[in-house]
Amino acid sequence: MRPDPTPTDRSPTDRSAADAGPLADLARVTSPAGESARPRADPAVVGVAGGVCAHRQASLDELGRPLSDLTFVVVDLETTGTSVATGEITEIGAVRVRGGEVLAEMSTLVRPSVGIPPMVSVITGITDAMVATAPAESEVVPTFLEFARGAVLVAHNAPFDLGFLRAAAQRCGYPPPTWEHLDTLRIARRLVSRDEAPDCRLASLARLFRSSTEPCHRALADARATVDVLHGLFERLGNAGVRTLEELHEYSARVSPAQRRKRHLADGLPTGPGVYIFRDADGRALYVGTSRSVRSRVRTYFTASEPRTRMAEMVALAERVDAIGCAHALEAEVRELRLIAEHKPPYNRRSRFPERTVYLKLTDEPFPRLSRVRAARDEATYLGPFASTRSADDAADALLAAVPLRQCTGRLSPRARRPACALADLGRCGAPCDGREDVAAYARHVAAARAAITGDPGPVIAASTRHIDRLADDRRYEEAAVHRDRMVSFVRAAARGQRLAALTGVPQLVAAAPTAQAGWDLAVVRHGRLVSAVSVAPGIDPRPWVDAAVASAETVQPQPGPAPCASVEETERIARWLAGSGVRLVRLDGEWSWPAAGAIRDALRYADVHRSPDSPEQAAGRRAEGQRPRR
């Protein structure tokens, strides 16, 4: 029985964020995995005595072994379990192929020395009674070794099958075989996208390549299906320019020889926390990352522990790695954010453009309205920031459903009147445009909206809940989910803004976090910006270090807006650090608190709510309006 591996190495998400600010302003007081191609001599230059190089023409052998000329033995096993230490082979199926033609097949049951578990029998259909008269392992192993002599072994999830075969050969008294082999699972993960197949299991690939044999957890059938998958993969490899076994080994390996050869780039990097920057030959930043041990982390980019394909592309372009040592992890994270925002490295995916965030602003005019803006540059009331205009629009809809602010975009004057729109007749606007509400009456709506944004969002939640209940009573559940998503967008944005306002309003804050070595990590924060970082060794009085950190800290001048001195992401990163286990406040100028009846409390109630996908009708409507449907 073979465990079906899941394609866990397909583009995991990389963690990084962005922020603005010069680095100089932050003051401080303080194994390869996979198969690689066989080594070959340079086909053009050969060293001779005396240091003279003689040029010669490369031989055909040095050009590689064409896949069309090689013999492959495609093998599949059924076993009593998944562990090589405790399991044994119950069936072997193998197909010998060359040049796309089947040369021979081998199939036999194997009598294990232990009973077959019932669950395995259910999966494979092989029972103890079926193997009672089958040949023993000691009889089958020599036959298979002779059948596979001189061929390249192929298996789907090859480590599983080859592990059992090696263990069986050793039990039979043979030296551990060292077969040259291919893994169709590994090759498929490089060639098959998720749009083509949901995963890289043998059954999924057999359907994709229209195999004439359907895998059924029997050895010979699965081996025949693997042959068809192998030939389908070979066709794609030909289009990728891979025609020899050596090229295929290099193509399918997670770490190419060229990638390994750049391991020296990690030499001399700091071993403590810090930020690293991969740069190309022109000095352009390719990727920015952070780690608690810079040298160890950078070394992983040249080994199989780094599975992301795009990172291999980045390493191929990199010519050097710069590193900045930091006092502790928080300083490293903040420097990473600022560097990403400054350089916008192409291989950092997330948060390269903090300027693309969206806010909802209560405009400053006699009859204010909600306006969607990209930056917060004055003392107006803002809701957000939002990661997308869709989230901002949803939050605006939730607020407007509870508070009848005007939705027209023109500037209104108390003296000049204009006809009211349909929203006035629907009761969703007080119609200041035609004089039904004066400035004082309309100001009550503005005050209610400002209170919901900066304080208690209860009126918005209540209005949305009433609407959701009515829709649910009418069994209009999809529409109810849309209104729920709008309410959650508003609550989360209000909570985010209130957390930011609480921290950015503090002129100066000094905090200390205990380290694993019984020392202290100190951070000085002014208006939400990290301005100094210190690491105090164990056994040393930290109080003088606090004074030194404050004295050497960066001076900041707050600007208008929700993030007056740093980016939103930097302030939020600092807030998460302050909420960490064991962190203590050492000094605090002013006060740092959240509103008791604020949106932060309500946001926790909806922490697990996820945005609902659009129904087909809603998706079609969004497309018609030029919007992207929800997924």
CB distance 404 to 448 below 8 Å: no
Quote the longest CA-to-CA distance of the chain: 103
Q: State the CB neighbour count (10 A cutoff) for residue 102.
A: 12
- Please say whether the beta carbons of 454 and 366 come within 8 A: no
- Is residue 305 helix, strand or coil? coil
8 Å CB contact between 277 and 287: yes
CA-based radius of gyration for the chain: 33
Sequence-distant (≥ 6) Cβ neighbours of residue 154 within 8 angstroms: 72, 73, 74, 75, 181, 182, 183, 184, 226, 230
Task: Enumerate the β-bridge partners of residue 274.
Answer: 291, 325
Token pair of 457, please?
A: 């969002």
Q: Round to whole Å and give the CA distance between 207 and 191.
A: 15
Identity of residue 281: A
Which residue from 189, 199, 297, 311 is spatially nearest to 255, judged by alpha carbons?
311
What are the backbone dihedrals phi and psi of residue 323, each rounded to the nearest 5 degrees, phi first? -135, 145
CA 118, CA 116: separation in Å to the nearest integer? 6
H helices within 265-345, ranges in order?
294-300, 309-317, 329-343
Tell me if residue 217 is catalytic: yes
Measured distance CA(324)–CA(23) in Å, rounded:
10
Kindly give, in sequence order, each residue whose CB lies less than 8 Å from that of residue 569, ignoring residues fewer than 6 positions away.
17, 18, 19, 337, 351, 354
Determine what percent of the chain falls in helix, strand and coil, rounding each to the nearest 5.
Answer: 40, 15, 45
Tokens for 346, please give them.
């192409």
What is d(CA 408, CA 395) in angstroms, rounded to the nearest whole number? 17
Answer yes or no: are the C-beta atoms of 154 and 74 closer than 8 Å. Answer: yes
The answer to whether the beta carbons of residues 130 and 7 sit under 8 Å apart is no
Q: Which residues contact 612 (CB under 8 A, 6 or more apart)?
A: 478, 481, 482, 484, 485, 630
CA separation for the pair 21, 467 (Å, rounded): 44
| Sequence letter at residue 120 | V
Of 562, 559, 504, 502, residue with least CA distance to 528: 504
Query: Do 569 and 500 form a contact (C-beta atoms < 8 A)?
Result: no
**What's the CA gap between 227 and 151, in Å, rounded?**
14
Residue type, 144: F
* Six-digit token string for 431: 């119609």
Phi, psi of 220 (to 5 degrees): -70, -40
Distance CA 266, CA 323 (A): 10
Q: Are 445 and 368 in contact (CB under 8 A)?
A: no
Name the β-bridge partners of 532: 27, 524
- Choose, from 55, 156, 181, 217, the residue flagged as catalytic: 217
Q: Which residues are catalytic?
A: 217
